[in-house]
Amino acid sequence: MRSIRFVALAAVTGLVLAACGGGDDETGSGDDGGSGGEPVELSFQTLAWQTASVEANEAIVAAWNEANPDIQVELIQGDWNNVHDQLMTSFEGGTAPDVFHYESTVLQDFGDRGNVLDLAEYLSDEIRDDIRAGAWDTATFDEAVYGVPFLQESQVVFANRKLLEAAGVTLPTVDDPWTWDEFADVSAQLTTDGQFGAVVPLNAPANRILNLARNFGGDYFTDLTGEVQAVFDEADQEVPRRIHEMLYTDNSASPDGIGMSSADALPGFFAGQYAMLPGAIWLRQQIIEQAPDGFDWVTLPALEGESSAQGAVSQTLSVSAETEHPEEAVQFIEYFLNAENQVQLAAGDWLLPTSQEAAQSPELNDPATGWDVATATAENLEMAPFQQVKGFEEWKSRIANPAFQEYFSDQISLEDLGAKLVDEGNAVLERYQR
């Protein structure tokens, strides 16, 4: 998820924004649309930050409030940069919003602490059936469902169509994607003086590498919910080894990518220095907004290893365990995340909806903006195994990201990389064992 890249808006116009918890304040107006009592009041904290996404949130909440005078929702603007600390403080102080937007990686911890409601007994068959099973897996722990997943990210490849066509490269299709070997071969074919076939952004690469490891069945961890151990088996080695070979054996991937984020790579991509740029589907928005006039680009399907599987986490909506109105909170979530609304939420953030009906929308299958290719990746998404690993965030930041950086900088060997991930990594994970 793009959490570290989000800059929250200070306010959302058109709605009253105030931090409020519990949903138990009385309005004092007595006007509930004619039911004869006070309306139920729910607070909903969103992390939407892009203009289109913010507008979609506003419109959905406004439509709900108009249609449901007995259950009124107050929209609160949260901030990806401090939401974890803010929620922890609000849980402890009893001021948590009734409904809150976050992501699946935190739900197990919140559930263990008793901060979130198990939604299993509240969810309708309609929403259970509409959302992909693989997405539900990201928010389900044992039998407890701690959130409703609604947005996911996948990895694809962006290409300079003019350069590929000039080299006589036949573009892959959703039904016939490139394998990793074919991608490496094409990258080598496109590499000339002053031009690399590809650039692979590798700044803080652990999440991407672990998600793509699913192409080859890699997990990086064993016994995820028990005595977890980091491993670096042959399947786990495939993706980093192949990228390293492109960097230093084939010399077809630019070493510039080692310190780059995806956004950092765009100027060189636009200038023709890099013919192809693997990246997340949300990068399409920045390409559209920033590309020079006449730049002809195309979204290519996700690469295939032994399969096209990719690990994924989800953005989620959850209910605070302390809410006084669980049924109404879930009723609102199901409305907010119905298929029609998920189309707008996905389009606003350039991410995949979890709703299978929403994924059939013409708006999310437009070839001109790469939506057709992006949406086709949804069926290959499965729960990222690492999200169940207690201590993963520390393992990632302290061990994995620095070790991958050293390896991709050619400072250590593949064997050394494995030793760091496993030996040093398990020393970190041991502290989180029950």
Question: Which pLDDT does position 279 carry in this prediction?
Answer: 97
Q: How far apart are CA 124 and CA 140, in angstroms?
A: 16
Could you give the C-alpha distances from 23 to 63, 147, 256, 288, 369, in angstroms and in order? 19, 18, 51, 41, 41
Which amino acid is it at 196? F
Residues 6+ apart with CB under 8 A from 159: 171, 275, 276, 277, 297, 298, 300
Closest CA to 289 of 58, 51, 54: 51
Tokens read off for 20: 């409020």
Check if the beta carbon of residue 23 is closer than 8 Å to that of residue 94.
no
CA 263 distance to own-chain centroid? 16
Half-sphere exposure of 284 (CA within 13 A, CB side): 28
Cα radius of gyration rounded to whole Å, the chain: 23
Per the DSSP assignment, residues forming a β-bridge with 71 are 40
Q: pTM for the complete prediction?
A: 0.88
End-to-end CA distance of the chain: 28
Question: Which pLDDT does position 226 carry in this prediction?
Answer: 79
Check if the beta carbon of residue 203 is closer than 8 Å to that of residue 329.
no
Give me the residues of the chain with pLDDT under 70, please. Answer: 1-36, 434
Half-sphere exposure of 372 (CA within 13 A, CB side): 9
Tokens read off for 107: 């739900």
432: number of Cβ within 10 Å: 13
Question: Which pLDDT does position 31 carry in this prediction?
Answer: 39
Per the DSSP assignment, residues forming a β-bridge with 412 are none
Domains of the chain: 40-152+313-356 (3.40.190.10), 155-311+385-430 (3.40.190.10)
Q: How far apart are CA 231 and CA 418, in angstroms?
A: 8
Question: Which pLDDT does position 36 carry in this prediction?
Answer: 55
CA 208 distance to own-chain centroid? 11
208: number of Cβ within 10 Å: 22
**Three-class SS string for the chain?**
CCHHHCCCCCCCCCCCCCCCCCCCCCCCCCCCCCCCCCCEEEEEEECCCCHHHHHHHHHHHHHHHHHCCCEEEEEEECCCCCHHHHHHHHHHHCCCCCEEEEEHHHHHHHHHCCCECCCCCCCCHHHHHHECHHHHHHCEECCEECCEEEEECCEEEEEEHHHHHHCCCCCCCCCCCCEHHHHHHHHHHHCECCEEEECCCCCCCHHHHHHHHHHHCCCCEECCCCCCEECCCHHHHHHHHHHHHHHHCCCCECHHHHHCCHHHHHHHHHCCCEEEEEEECCHHHHHHHHCCCCCCEEEECCCECCCCCEEECEEEEEEECCCCCHHHHHHHHHHHCCHHHHHHHHHHHCCEECECCHHHCHHHHCHHHCHHHHHHHHHHEEECHHHHCCCHHHHHHHHHHHHHHHHHCCCCCHHHHHHHHHHHHHHHHHHHCC
- The most distant pair of C-alpha atoms in the chain lies apart, rounded to whole Å, by 77
Q: How far apart are CA 184 and CA 167, in angstroms?
A: 15
Per the DSSP assignment, residues forming a β-bridge with 109 are none
